[in-house]
Amino acid sequence: MPPTPLSDRPLLEVAPRLAARPFLPIAELPTPVLPMPALEAAGRVWVKRDDVVSSLYGGNKVRRWEWLLAEARAQGRSELLTIGGPGSTQLTSLAAHGQAHGFEVHGVIFEQPPSAFVDEALREDAHYRATLHFSGGYARTVLDAVRFLAQHPRAYVIAPGASGPLATLSYVDAMLELGAQVKARLLPRPDRVVVPCGSGGTAVGLALGAALLGWRETTIEAVRITDLYLSNPLTLGAVARACGALLRREGYRGPRLTTRIAMNHRFIGPGYGAGTPAAERGAALFERAFGLPGEVTYSGKGLAALEQVVLAHPRETILYWNTLSTTGRLVS
Ligand SMILES: *Cc1c(COP(=O)(O)O)cnc(C)c1O
| CA 206 / ligand 1 centre spacing (Å) | 13
The pLDDT of 259-276, averaged and rounded, is: 97
Relative to the CA of 324, which ligand 1 atom is closest?
A: 13
Relative to the CA of 205, which ligand 1 atom is closest?
A: 7
Which residue puts its alpha carbon closest to atom 10 of ligand 1?
196
**309, 221 contact by CB (below 8 A):** yes
pLDDT, one tens digit per residue, over 124-169 is 999 999 999 999 999 999 999 999 999 999 999 999 999 999 999 9
What is the structure's pLDDT at 274?
Answer: 95
The DSSP call for residue 18 is G
259, pLDDT greater than 80: yes
Q: How many CA atoms lie within 13 A of 302 on its CB side?
A: 26
Give ligand 1 pocket residues (Cβ under 6 A): 59-61, 89-90, 161, 163, 196-203, 298, 323-324
Output the CA angle 237-242-247, nearest 5 degrees: 120
- Within 10 Å of residue 150's Cβ, how many Cβ atoms? 8
248 contact partners, CB below 8 Å, separation of at least 6: none
Pocket test for ligand 1, best of 51, 52, 53, 60 (most atoms within 8 A of CB): 60
40 — pLDDT class (breaks 50, 70, 90): confident
Name the region of 148 (left: φ>0; alpha: ψ -120 to 50; beta: rest): alpha
218, pLDDT greater than 80: yes
| CA 233 / ligand 1 centre spacing (Å) | 16
**229, 199 contact by CB (below 8 A):** no
The DSSP call for residue 107 is E
33, pLDDT greater than 90: yes
DSSP SS3 for 82: strand
Pocket test for ligand 1, best of 89, 170, 267 (most atoms within 8 A of CB): 89
| CA 22 / ligand 1 centre spacing (Å) | 23
Taking the alpha carbons of 242, 214, 16, 22 in that order, is the dihedral positive or negative?
positive
Taking the alpha carbons of 266, 161, 149, 105 in that order, is the dihedral positive or negative?
positive
What is the structure's pLDDT at 41?
Answer: 76
332, pLDDT greater than 80: no
The DSSP call for residue 256 is P
Relative to the CA of 195, which ligand 1 atom is closest?
A: 10
Cα 84 from Cα 219, distance rounded (Å): 29
pLDDT, one tens digit per residue, over 61-102 is 999 999 999 999 999 999 999 999 999 999 999 999 999 999
What is the structure's pLDDT at 318?
Answer: 98
